[in-house]
Amino acid sequence: MLNKILILVCSALLLVSCGDRIYPSSFIVLKNATNLKHFYTGGIERMFYKVEAKFPAESTIREITSKLESAGWEPLQEDYLHPGISTSIVSGWSIYEDPPKRPFNMIYEWSANWKDKAENIVSYQFQYKDPIDKHRHGTVILKPGSSSMTVNAVYMPHKIAKNMRESINRKKQKSS
């Protein structure tokens, strides 16, 4: 009888602990975050959420950057998976068209990578979307029409990040 009770208690504790997913410490959820989504696939963790932040979201970027750096994460000047390409820490915001998705959008994006002492990698992307039609007129103001921004964080353990970078570089070498 005692064994059955012990099994029931352990099972209940296991179920409760499975419901409370623990995110990597490098995932920073801002206090005004909405629509939080978390995915774990193939050893890589991803988190998405929305925040209201007026472009260019300097205080939001500064808050996440300072929290990462105070936790020992070092900002990278180049994209970890694509060496030679500057992160937004160096180059600032980029703007590009986002076809083939319909409706077509202009994307305003700030993207950077950090590594910790164990060489794990975390990436953050901040994105605003604008209808592309706004950008097809004679006069264009290059800033999004909305303050709704998506925060996308990706955490890769060192081994997985290193394998991905090597795989991408092999593909580049074969195509050149």
pLDDT 10s digits, 116-136: 999 999 999 999 998 876 656
Residue type for position 59: S
Q: What is the pLDDT of residue 5?
A: 41
In a domain, 159, yes or no: yes
pLDDT bracket for residue 145 (50, 70, 90): confident
In a domain, 150, yes or no: yes
pLDDT tens digit sequence for 76-109:
999 999 999 999 999 999 998 886 667 788 899 9
Q: What is the pLDDT of residue 9?
A: 37
In a domain, 20, yes or no: no
**Domain assignment of residue 50, given as a range:** 32-175
Q: Is the pLDDT of residue 1 over 60?
A: no
Residue predicted with more confidence, 24 or 122: 122
Q: Is the pLDDT of residue 15 over 50?
A: no
In a domain, 82, yes or no: yes
DSSP classification of residue 14: H
Note whether 57 and 110 are within 8 A (CB): yes
What distance in Å separates the CA atoms of residue 40 and residue 46, rounded to the nearest whole number?
Answer: 6
pLDDT bracket for residue 62 (50, 70, 90): very high
Phi, psi of 120 (to 5 degrees): -70, 155
In a domain, 100, yes or no: yes
Of the chain, the percentage scoring pLDDT greater than 70 comes to 81
In a domain, 112, yes or no: yes
Helix (H, G, I), strand (E, B), or coil: what is residue 91? helix
pLDDT tens digit sequence for 30-39:
999 999 999 9
Note whether 53 and 128 are within 8 A (CB): no
> What domain count does the chain have?
1
pTM value?
A: 0.81
pLDDT bracket for residue 159 (50, 70, 90): very high
pLDDT bracket for residue 24 (50, 70, 90): confident
In a domain, 162, yes or no: yes
What distance in Å separates the CA atoms of residue 122 and residue 153, rounded to the nearest whole number?
Answer: 7
In the block, which residue shows the tokens 């353990």? 157
In a domain, 131, yes or no: yes
What are residue 106's DSSP bridge partners?
97, 130
The runs of H, that is alpha helices, within the chain are 2-19, 58-70, 88-91, 158-175
Long-range Cβ contacts of 70-74 (<8 Å, 24+ apart): 71/25, 71/26, 71/116, 72/116, 72/117, 73/26, 73/114, 73/115, 73/116, 73/122, 74/114, 74/115, 74/116
Q: Is the pLDDT of residue 54 over 90?
A: yes
Q: What is the pLDDT of residue 64?
A: 97
Return the sign of the alpha-carbon dihedral for residues 134, 135, 138, 140: positive
